[in-house]
Structure 1
Amino acid sequence: MGDASRLRNPHLRAALAEAFEAILPNKQHGGGRTLNSSFAEAIFMHHPLIEHLPRVLLDVFVSIELTGQAVAFEQKFNYRRPMYEILDYFWKFDKHREQVKKLTAYAEEHIDDAEAPLVLRFINLLMNDANFLLDEALSQMARLKENQEAMDRGEWNSLPQQQRRDLENTFRHTGQIARFTNIMGVKTLIILDMLTRSIQSIFCQPAICERLALMLNYFLQHLVGPKRGNLKVRNLNEYQFEPQKLVAKVTDIYLNFAQRDEFFAAVCNDGMSYNEQLFPQAVEVLERIGHPRERIDAFLKLSEHIKLFQMAQTYHLLHSVALLALPLVSRPILTGSLFLSGLAFFCGPMYFHAIRNDPRFRLVTPYGGLLLIAGWLSIIIF
């Protein structure tokens, strides 16, 4: 499966992944039988070639996208579906998690290579899939909502029979697409959550971190923001649309980066979807669905830390610009010393509190603020 020189056809390589999925325990086989769980675990733990599974699986996942051969756009998601199941299953084994971590460490060491490392390509494609599937799912749900409202108003009743039949067929087709993208979108989020619980550093590389933060902010804003009513359709279960589950999973991914300053910066620098009401709105949804209290409290704390980080970043940026203008003031050494000391005592403790969840240095924050004020006064007075 992992050797393209032996099996060049990407369709067959992907089919082998589907066959491998059949080994997973609790999978239905002919006659309603399931594979013995202990037998499956023995394969995943003791097969002489099983140590290659993580690398091979990621390679096949990537090769479906980059094969250069005709793979239908929707078909690639069907090919990747069993790979999500296999990833989810083998992640519970320490030896396989360690293999992925080794591949990730190698990717970070060679992140600037001309040919991107395997894990980096996998992460990019996984995020592409999540972005497309979730965005498509939300678009289809909004379209279904519009169609249902049109039917409720009786707008379709006055149309010619053929046109009404065409609209009904389109409505059913939209529902099928919505169901598929909802199912696959949740699977991609589950894998992202699973990976980011154990591996954060590669996701905090500048380009990846910004994309991830923008994606999470965008979908959270659509799910809990003022336009969430556009997604409320009848028979949510028919379309496998579970907005509460999506909100819970998105917030879980946020929490996986609760101590990463790069992620904090990427979240609050998003001027399109992020605002101070976003996280409180998400908390309202989490409380309404009975999400575990400790997870809600952790998310509330994360919200406060991001706001704190944003405040520190704002003052840091403002006074950094002011420092560039020091040659223009009458007492540059005095003003510069006050600004630098103020930044250290004002922004430093806030950064430390936000990132480390440790407020012990916040006592000096007011003194830092006074130093910054004194710096501005030195410009005015002298």
Structure 2
Amino acid sequence: MPNKDFLLIYHLLPEKTSQQCFSEASTRRPADLLSSFTTIKTVMRGLYKDLGDVLLALLKNTDTRENVLEYLAEVINRNSSRAHIQVEPLSCASSGMFVNLSAVMLRLCDPFLDANLTKRDKIDPKYVFYSSRLDLRSLTALHASSEEVSEWINKGNPAKADGSKHFSDGENQLLQSQEATSSSGGASEPSLPAGRPASIGGGKSKYPFICECFFMTARVLNLGLLKAFSDFKHLVQDISRAEDTLATLKATQGQTPSSQLNLEITRIEKEIELSSQEKLCYEAQILRDGDLIQHALSFYRLMIVWLVDLVGGFKMPLPDTCPMEFACMPEHFVEDAMELLIFASRIPKALDGVLLDDFMNFIIMFMASPKYIRNPYLRSKMVEVLNCWMPRRSGSSSATATLFEGHQMSLEYLVRNLLKLYVDIEFTGSHTQFYDKFNIRHNIAELLEYLWQVPSHRNAWRQIAKEEEKGVYLNFLNFLINDSIYLLDESLNKILELKVIEAEMSNTAEWERRPAQERQERTRLFHSQENIIRIDMKLANEDVSMLAFTSEQIVAPFLLPEMIERVASMLNYFLLQLVGPQRKSLTLKDPEKYEFRPKQLLKQIVCIYVHLARGDTQNLFPAAISSDGRSYNEQLFSAAADVLWKIGEDGRIIQEFIELGAKAKAAASEAMDAEAALGDIPDEFLDPIQVCFTCLLSSLVRTVLRTMVIVSFVAVHFDEGSGHFTFVKNHS
């Protein structure tokens, strides 16, 4: 049995090391930090190799192989709580141990991570259900519920499924090749016995070593490397929040100095220093280890290709029924792959040389397939990966551009599935779904805006709008309009609230007379409102922009009977906010700071008006505009035109907009004339039941009102002799 502490040789840079290498990092020279990074990287690579050699030697020995596998399984099962957001350090192994173990397990996987993944047929999906070594059945599945998993497993035959295969000659050769690969050269190592090893533990049958190694590595990475990525992300967020708090406290201290604030500032500065040291430790051991990340990417490429094999390979559309083998696979297999891709995409050169086509195919196949992957947040994480790969709008070339612009499955299905996911994400089942959808749709909107600029994708988009005019595309437009209205309305209301606080703070004398605690609370609220406005306004700008560029070439869905009045009301409302009487109250000292660009917004709103008017062959749009009783005002069109002339908008657009305003005014006049000409509705066209109900209701209201008047003028008197009530006039 291996020493249970052999993986604990080097933790994730202990405190002494972090202080020695990264103390006062903010003031140290970049060259000093780089030297520390290089030293740590060299030491860790040597450690990984030595640990891998020890583990491989134990696996080669038939007397210790089973014990090693049992030990690894025990480590994994006993530390399963490391997958939780909050980890109890006294009950779990350290991050250092699991990062080390992740690196070692990836080295063991090297021989079956070849470019063609030729050995993936040795990975048996039944291991998840029937293996007694790892507890995989209790993990959240991709689609099946725990009851469905149990029911499906019970239908099988565990006795037959529990791996009828022993370690084969090929498995021994695999371990031998691993020894040769990991050896530093020189003396040759003793080879494994050529024949099959005898069964261990009373004839207990085994899965192939590749199968065991694959699933153990998947679990170790989930609890180790991927958990470290998650911890690093949370650490960065904590540092950012602490820095924001520190800035706020220093601003408050400048206005109202106090000893208590000084102590709090000192405490937070110390906290930031320690957290920054920890952040640099993560960077040294993980982010700057390109080999480790590339090994992990190779492993997860095998993972997603193997998963796709369970549904019939890389082809669309997917079968209507999801195979249970796929539906029952642990959800974290896919989630970890996506998290790694997101993380690696943000590290310079981490994706160099990595084959991304299989990842791209997988994402396109499953991001809009709730029948296969139930969790909408996991499917939205796939969009986040694509967002990381998206070529920047600057026009610079990108290695990932071919994934979007020259990839067959992308050209056929990417836009369609993005639009479908945009709709699906409206309902996630979470109590925070209303707010979550905005962040997810932000990523989708950025992708769609980029894809619109690619002619082949734009053509596909237009075809989808035509085919799904009253299906997915209609729902997409509905949600896009809903979000636009909510976000812009929320942003403008927050601006008004912000200006109130701003006015309070600008009145220095009055502000200084307020209690310190109240000033702090109002200051925090001010900064909170700033962040909300900035985020909401950015999202609103994206939505309005998408309405503007799509309406130029796709008009018909906007003019459907069920849509035209909603679209007109939305545009009228935006126009009222931007050029109506309230516009002066929305002026800000630095609008760009809040992503508030009223001139650009007005241009886009007017462009949408004009685009729809151009495609309105039946002249229905002007009537829809004028029928909006909430926001329509004919004077808004002339006011908007005046602003557009001043800011230099295209004269042709302005002229068409003015003409549309005139048509809307004429439509309003015609509607009023028609209503006056019709007069009252003839009795024979009235609904007798409704008329009767209305009369009864009116009579009841009159009776109640008359009773209230009478009661106000009379008083009630009780005659004790007769025992009767009498009503007398109330002179009071």
Query: Normalization by structure 1: what TM-score?
Result: 0.75
Q: Is the 8 A contact 2:426 2:434 kept in 1?
A: no
1:176 aligns with 2:526: no
In the TM superposition, residue 11 of structure 1 has moved relative to its aligned partner by 1.5
| Matched residue, 2:180 | none
Alignment of 1:115-130 (within 5 A): 117-130=471-484
| Matched residue, 2:16 | none
Give RMSD over aligned pairs: 2.4
| Matched residue, 1:2 | 368
| Matched residue, 1:373 | none
Equivalent-residue separation in structure 2 for 1:324 and 1:106 (angstroms): 42
Equivalent-residue separation in structure 1 for 2:588 and 2:397 (angstroms): 40
- Residue number among 629, 633, 643 corresponding to 1:285 in the alignment: 643
1:239 aligns with 2:599: no
In the TM superposition, residue 324 of structure 1 has moved relative to its aligned partner by 8.2
In the TM superposition, residue 63 of structure 1 has moved relative to its aligned partner by 1.7
Indicate the SS of the match to 1:12. Answer: helix
Q: Is the 8 A contact 2:426 2:433 kept in 1?
A: no
Equivalent-residue separation in structure 2 for 1:197 and 1:41 (angstroms): 25
Q: Is the 8 A contact 1:107 1:120 kept in 2?
A: yes
1:19 aligns with 2:404: no
Q: Is the 8 A contact 1:283 1:296 kept in 2?
A: yes
Q: Is the 8 A contact 2:575 2:602 kept in 1?
A: yes
Alignment of 1:89-168 (within 5 A): 89-108=450-469, 111=470, 117-154=471-508, 155-168=510-523
Structure 1 residues 40, 308: closer, same or farther in 2, change over 3 A? farther
Pick 1 or 2: higher relative contact order, CA cutoff 8 A, min separation 6.
Answer: 1
Larger deviation, residues 306-315 vs 161-170: 306-315
Equivalent-residue separation in structure 2 for 1:133 and 1:218 (angstroms): 13
Per-residue Cα deviation, 1:92-124 (whole angstroms, up to 9, x for no partner): 33433333333333334xx4xxxxx21122111
Per-residue Cα deviation, 1:235-256 (whole angstroms, up to 9, x for no partner): 2122111111111111111111
Amino acid at match of 1:314: M
Structure 1 residues 152, 302: closer, same or farther in 2, change over 3 A? same
Equivalent-residue separation in structure 2 for 1:152 and 1:98 (angstroms): 53
Larger deviation, residues 168-177 vs 276-285: 276-285
In the TM superposition, residue 298 of structure 1 has moved relative to its aligned partner by 2.2
1:78 aligns with 2:439: yes
Per-residue Cα deviation, 1:257-298 (whole angstroms, up to 9, x for no partner): 114222211110112211121111111221222222222222
Per-residue Cα deviation, 1:304-328 (whole angstroms, up to 9, x for no partner): 2222333334334444x16988x9x
Structure 1 residues 107, 48: closer, same or farther in 2, change over 3 A? closer
Equivalent-residue separation in structure 2 for 1:213 and 1:157 (angstroms): 48
In the TM superposition, residue 151 of structure 1 has moved relative to its aligned partner by 2.1
| Matched residue, 2:97 | none
Structure 1 residues 304, 323: closer, same or farther in 2, change over 3 A? same
Structure 1 residues 241, 230: closer, same or farther in 2, change over 3 A? same
Contiguous gaps of at least 5 residues in structure 1? 29-33, 112-116, 328-382
In the TM superposition, residue 185 of structure 1 has moved relative to its aligned partner by 0.4
In the TM superposition, residue 156 of structure 1 has moved relative to its aligned partner by 2.8
| Matched residue, 1:204 | 559
Indicate the SS of the match to 1:198. Answer: coil
Structure 1 residues 66, 297: closer, same or farther in 2, change over 3 A? same
Per-residue Cα deviation, 1:27-48 (whole angstroms, up to 9, x for no partner): 79xxxxx9725x5553333312
Q: Is the 8 A contact 2:427 2:433 kept in 1?
A: no
Amino acid at match of 1:61: Y
Equivalent-residue separation in structure 1 for 2:474 and 2:428 (angstroms): 17
In the TM superposition, residue 20 of structure 1 has moved relative to its aligned partner by 0.8
Larger deviation, residues 181-190 vs 303-312: 303-312
Indicate the SS of the match to 1:227. Answer: helix
In the TM superposition, residue 69 of structure 1 has moved relative to its aligned partner by 3.5
Q: Is the 8 A contact 1:64 1:71 kept in 2?
A: no
| Matched residue, 2:632 | 274
Structure 1 residues 174, 95: closer, same or farther in 2, change over 3 A? same
Equivalent-residue separation in structure 2 for 1:232 and 1:157 (angstroms): 26
In the TM superposition, residue 211 of structure 1 has moved relative to its aligned partner by 1.3
| Matched residue, 1:252 | 607
| Matched residue, 2:407 | 47
Equivalent-residue separation in structure 1 for 2:393 and 2:641 (angstroms): 36
Q: Is the 8 A contact 1:62 1:122 kept in 2?
A: yes
Structure 1 residues 15, 71: closer, same or farther in 2, change over 3 A? farther
Query: Normalization by structure 2: what TM-score?
Result: 0.40
Larger deviation, residues 120-129 vs 43-52: 43-52
Q: Is the 8 A contact 2:537 2:596 kept in 1?
A: yes
Q: Is the 8 A contact 2:387 2:443 kept in 1?
A: yes
Indicate the SS of the match to 2:429. Answer: coil
- Indicate the structure with greater helix content: 1
Equivalent-residue separation in structure 2 for 1:145 and 1:249 (angstroms): 26
Q: Is the 8 A contact 1:214 1:273 kept in 2?
A: yes
Q: Is the 8 A contact 1:144 1:233 kept in 2?
A: no
Equivalent-residue separation in structure 1 for 2:606 and 2:387 (angstroms): 29
| Matched residue, 1:59 | 420
Structure label with greater radius of gyration: 2
Contiguous gaps of at least 5 residues in structure 2? 1-366, 685-732
Q: Is the 8 A contact 1:24 1:35 kept in 2?
A: no
Indicate the SS of the match to 2:610. Answer: helix
Structure 1 residues 169, 48: closer, same or farther in 2, change over 3 A? same
Equivalent-residue separation in structure 1 for 2:468 and 2:660 (angstroms): 29
Q: Give the number of equivalent residue pairs.
A: 312
Q: Is the 8 A contact 2:622 2:660 kept in 1?
A: no
Structure 1 residues 41, 190: closer, same or farther in 2, change over 3 A? same
Equivalent-residue separation in structure 2 for 1:178 and 1:69 (angstroms): 24
Equivalent-residue separation in structure 2 for 1:315 and 1:96 (angstroms): 47
Equivalent-residue separation in structure 2 for 1:279 and 1:249 (angstroms): 14
Q: Identity of paired residues, percent?
A: 33
In the TM superposition, residue 303 of structure 1 has moved relative to its aligned partner by 1.7
Structure 1 residues 62, 143: closer, same or farther in 2, change over 3 A? same
Q: Is the 8 A contact 1:141 1:231 kept in 2?
A: yes
Per-residue Cα deviation, 1:308-355 (whole angstroms, up to 9, x for no partner): 333334334444x16988x9xxxxxxxxxxxxxxxxxxxxxxxxxxxx
In the TM superposition, residue 159 of structure 1 has moved relative to its aligned partner by 1.2
